[in-house]
Structure 1
Amino acid sequence: MIALSLAEIAAVVGGQTYDIPDPSAQVTGPVVRDSREVEPGSLFVAFAGERVDGHDFAAAVVEAGAAAVLASRPVGVPAIVVDDVQTALGALARHVVDKLGATLVALTGSAGKTSTKDLVAQVLRRAAPTVFTPGSLNNEIGLPLTALSATEETKFLVLEMGARGIGHIRYLTGLTPPRIGLVLNVGTAHIGEFGGREQIAQAKGELVEALPAAADGGVAVLNADDPLVRAMASRTTAKVVLFGESGEADVRAENVRLTDSGQPSFSLHTPSGCSDVTMRLYGEHHVSNALAAAAVAHELGMSVTEIATALSEAGSLSRWRMEVTERPDGVTIVNDAYNANPESMRAALRALAAMGKGGRTWAVLGKMAELGDEALAEHDAVGRLAVRLNVSKLVAVGGIEASWLQLGAYNEGSWGEESVHVSDAQAAVDLLRSELRPGDVVLVKASRSVGLESVAQALLATGAEGEVAVR
């Protein structure tokens, strides 16, 4: 964070100082909520959770070097006490980004947010110092913490914004007002909470509504291939830039193909020229993500050659998202178990099919959460798609939703041993260990709550089967 005195922070957040001998002392380290991340000069933010109360760690973090604690009550060590810690954290983030003068790029969408955010960051940091959301910390706590990690040298601040209801993104853009807003897609993730795709579009479109006008530098980067996203052009006064495979897109891909290993290759076309891209990531769905990143970078002045080179060299920065590892025995494990929704599940299955041309393909799939009344139909559809893509074997893991996956496969024509329903992750591991052979490719994917990453980790722990705990 940029250096601020404790007195200045207290004024910004409307707090009272307690046990602070020198209010002019500065916070020079990061703002953190995890006591294990404290460094000398840090500001520790004490949240009172259901199981852990950050206030209980106040003395320890100050002893470890924290300059003070942002708290909701006095804690016996230097503290700035406020009525609501989350509100105060947001106010501090807004104060810092207003002082920084960095270009804020915000993005949202139903699927692919984190992968695209990582691509945008990897492209932009070739041009100038860039700070971006780590992992998927895209909510009302993670977003301000990311913003506060920016320094005076930061030129670009890339922020992922998630939403679980109307007004969430509007709140986040109030904390960190973007100049460039990117909307990827409107799918069915969290449809059970929103009530329908139209409501999801309403929520995601709050991002473009928050942008400054075109005359003031505002840019809305929209997916030309998604009608609900493209319609958001009417909700903003910012400049509109379209990306996609549509011929009307300002930034588009032509001659899209997959390498033998399943990595996308295409010709990148922008208003200033074209260049070829061959990505290190796996799956054709990354073409759209790459075009989104290219559109942002082009608007910020990067050349098409710079952009294409950066996209070709970019890797996966966030864990358990199409992590591809080949075991010594020739079995390939694709750990995409961080989360799942119908759109990302379909994309992962298509990537698996492309990667498995030389051997058998295994789809180890679990529940997709928060689908509401659409849950049965969506799980059934994924099971059917696995059959249509000629996946060698579907292993559906877990309860009722997994049975729907297998039922879809069965109804599509998987009547023999092409699909199986197992009770839990351990049963899946036992099955796979007994049947995998060199050349096989295994995809592992489910919603985060299922914890199927443990299956991938167990399969990769060659020679240490008894040491791996599987949930």
Structure 2
Amino acid sequence: MPTLFTVDEVLAATQGQAEGLTGTPFGAVSIDSRELGPDALFVAIKGDRFDGHDFVDQALNNGAAAALVSRGSGDRRIVVDDALEGLRDLARAARARSRAIIVGVTGSVGKTTTKEAIRTVFEDAAETHASIKSFNNHWGVPLMLARLPESAQFGVFEMGMSGPYEIRPLSQLVRPHIAVITTVAAAHLEAFGSLDGIARAKAEIFAGIEPGGTAVLNADHPQLNVLLEQARADGIGNIVTYGEARGTDWQILEIETAADKSFATIVHNDERHALVLNVPGRHMVANATAALAVAYQAGVEIDVALRALAGFGLQAGRGQRRLLGPAEKPVLLIDESYNANTASMRAALDVFAAQQAPGGRKVVVLGDMLELGAQSAALHAGLRDAVLASGAERIYLVGQEVAALADALGRSRVTAHTHSAAEMAPILRNDLAYGDAVMVKGSNGVGLSDIVDKIGQQFESH
């Protein structure tokens, strides 16, 4: 594996003290003691549930070349004042030496999918490094940035938040040349009080944009003006918009969606481009158009980007589709279990409306949308029409907040309502049958991914 850092580079970046180290270079940086190669540097950060210092010996026994620690002593250790700050120091060092075009992505909905679409396009053009999974918080972003190879020509980093003032330091660490805000919607509304408050928090990404950099903004939401005002206040001269709204720089027209594909015409500089995606949904067209706009700003030819996007696929928990069981009459499982807010819930239900069951019923399993504050009941109840329009014949609800949706639907329309995923799992086990199409969606904290796993286990092997 190529070298990320030499020992001397780590010491220079962190001002740490080496104990019992040879000159072995590091080819990886990790915070997980279970996933280590022989040339990895294990960073012992303290998280909400675990302290990495409790796993230093395990990491070294598992083959790590060294551990970056803020307490303890022994061979193969680099001692710093604070291990998390040491990780940030490595991230700054990786960013400082990089000559890559760097993209930062945030937004209430679609940021991981948009990040993946951009990665897909960039990888067709040159060496690309991108955040994995949803490593987008105060430790995930520096970890992903510390892994940025010096040879990469593109870097794509996702930034998330659960409260105000969290995006700004992440963006100042990443220092993107291009910053994308996918949309503003009622996610974590409890912490912000209003959609304008969420928009202002997302706009913190502008604080880290490199001089002469670009903001790429979805125009299809009412908070666009909040973002535009903040971008101009932060001195960003190059602002690019995309969406279905008239007058956008990358306008989406003529959208057609099918059960497993999407088609659209994208107009840019009076030129029309045919976008074909191997995934369904208007929201997926928007995410792909963001990737087109970013690619163009980064110097990637539009034809290259369109060709790459044609092969783009969805990830687990974000609309991934699986056919389970016999080919003649499988269960179609649509996994949307990673997260949910009002915008993503409506988008998923809209996609499900176009889906036909392979030979049985259409089934939805919907969990709570968390952190919506005082508006939670109204926002859950407001999903009534979208649920009915999806064509779901059986509706299963999980959690306390979805009680408002159950009331709005009428209890006779709700097949089952439980407080936990664990209670729902055996009900679904008895009710689902081959030929059914089932979509599972809710906030990650509800634990619907366990239901997805159990459905897979029940039907996949038959």
Question: Do Structure 1 and Structure 2 share a fold, with TM-score over 0.5?
Answer: yes
Residue 468 (structure 1) aligns with? none
Q: Structure 1, residues 366-397: CA drift from partner, whole Å, max 9, x if none?
A: 11111111111111112342124443222112
Q: Distance in 2 between matches of 1:77 and 1:458?
A: 44
Aligned residues: 453
Q: Distance in 2 between matches of 1:51 and 1:244?
A: 40
8 Å CA contact retained: 2:337, 2:440: yes
Deviation at 1:203, TM superposition (A): 0.9
Answer yes or no: is 1:97 the counterpart of 2:92: no
8 Å CA contact retained: 1:183, 1:229: no
Residue 459 (structure 1) aligns with? 455
Residue 342 (structure 2) aligns with? 342
Q: Structure 1, residues 43-75: CA drift from partner, whole Å, max 9, x if none?
A: 110123465332233234334443321111133
Counting only pairs closer than 5 Å after superposition, residues 69-218 of structure 1 correspond to structure 2 as 69-213=67-211, 216=212, 218=213
8 Å CA contact retained: 2:87, 2:146: no
**Shift in alpha-carbon separation, 1:418–1:33, aligned structure 2, 3 A:** closer
Residue 11 (structure 1) aligns with? 12
Q: Distance in 2 between matches of 1:464 and 1:131?
A: 33
Q: Distance in 2 between matches of 1:438 and 1:197?
A: 42
Residue 469 (structure 1) aligns with? none
Residue 257 (structure 2) aligns with? 258
Deviation at 1:40, TM superposition (A): 1.9
Q: What amino acid does structure 2 have at the position aligned with 1:245?
A: E
Equivalent residue in structure 1 for 2:271, among 270, 273, 281: 273
Q: Distance in 2 between matches of 1:145 and 1:370?
A: 26
**Shift in alpha-carbon separation, 1:463–1:442, aligned structure 2, 3 A:** closer
Q: Distance in 1 between matches of 2:332 and 2:459?
A: 16
Deviation at 1:227, TM superposition (A): 3.3
Answer yes or no: is 1:441 the counterpart of 2:440: no
Residue 223 (structure 2) aligns with? 228
Q: Distance in 2 between matches of 1:304 and 1:122?
A: 13
Deviation at 1:134, TM superposition (A): 0.6
**Shift in alpha-carbon separation, 1:199–1:27, aligned structure 2, 3 A:** farther
Q: Which moved more, 1:172-181 or 1:422-431?
A: 422-431
Q: Distance in 1 between matches of 2:425 and 2:65?
A: 47
**Shift in alpha-carbon separation, 1:86–1:265, aligned structure 2, 3 A:** same
8 Å CA contact retained: 1:183, 1:221: yes
8 Å CA contact retained: 2:429, 2:458: no
**Shift in alpha-carbon separation, 1:49–1:226, aligned structure 2, 3 A:** closer
Q: Distance in 2 between matches of 1:303 and 1:234?
A: 30
Residue 307 (structure 2) aligns with? 309
Name the SS of the counterpart of 2:162 in structure 1. coil
Q: Structure 1, residues 152-191: CA drift from partner, whole Å, max 9, x if none?
A: 3211110000112222111001211111000111111101
Deviation at 1:419, TM superposition (A): 4.5
Residue 298 (structure 1) aligns with? 296
Name the SS of the counterpart of 1:35 in structure 2. coil
Deviation at 1:426, TM superposition (A): 4.9
Residue 392 (structure 1) aligns with? 393
Answer yes or no: is 1:325 the counterpart of 2:322: yes
Deviation at 1:230, TM superposition (A): 4.6
Q: Distance in 2 between matches of 1:463 and 1:355?
A: 20
Name the SS of the counterpart of 1:37 in structure 2. coil
Q: What amino acid does structure 1 have at the position aligned with 2:39?
A: G
Q: Distance in 2 between matches of 1:274 and 1:307?
A: 14
Gaps of 5+ in 1: 466-471
8 Å CA contact retained: 1:135, 1:319: no
Q: Structure 1, residues 92-150: CA drift from partner, whole Å, max 9, x if none?
A: 10111110111110010001111111111001110111111111010111111111222
Q: Structure 1, residues 218-249: CA drift from partner, whole Å, max 9, x if none?
A: 11101122232354233332411111112311
Deviation at 1:353, TM superposition (A): 0.7
Residue 416 (structure 2) aligns with? 420
Deviation at 1:11, TM superposition (A): 2.7
Q: What amino acid does structure 2 have at the position aligned with 1:220?
A: A
Q: Distance in 2 between matches of 1:107 and 1:372?
A: 25
Q: Distance in 1 between matches of 2:267 and 2:441?
A: 33
Q: Distance in 2 between matches of 1:464 and 1:3?
A: 40
**Shift in alpha-carbon separation, 1:271–1:301, aligned structure 2, 3 A:** farther
8 Å CA contact retained: 1:263, 1:281: yes
8 Å CA contact retained: 1:380, 1:408: yes
Q: Distance in 2 between matches of 1:204 and 1:463?
A: 41
8 Å CA contact retained: 1:406, 1:420: no
Deviation at 1:26, TM superposition (A): 4.4
Q: Distance in 2 between matches of 1:92 and 1:433?
A: 48
**Shift in alpha-carbon separation, 1:357–1:67, aligned structure 2, 3 A:** closer
Residue 408 (structure 2) aligns with? 408
Identity %: 34
8 Å CA contact retained: 1:384, 1:408: no
Name the SS of the counterpart of 1:31 in structure 2. strand
8 Å CA contact retained: 1:353, 1:389: yes
Deviation at 1:439, TM superposition (A): 4.1
8 Å CA contact retained: 2:357, 2:436: no
**Shift in alpha-carbon separation, 1:423–1:224, aligned structure 2, 3 A:** closer
**Shift in alpha-carbon separation, 1:57–1:419, aligned structure 2, 3 A:** closer
Answer yes or no: is 1:364 the counterpart of 2:361: no
Q: Distance in 1 between matches of 2:269 and 2:180?
A: 18
Deviation at 1:346, TM superposition (A): 1.0
Name the SS of the counterpart of 1:294 in structure 2. helix
Deviation at 1:298, TM superposition (A): 1.2
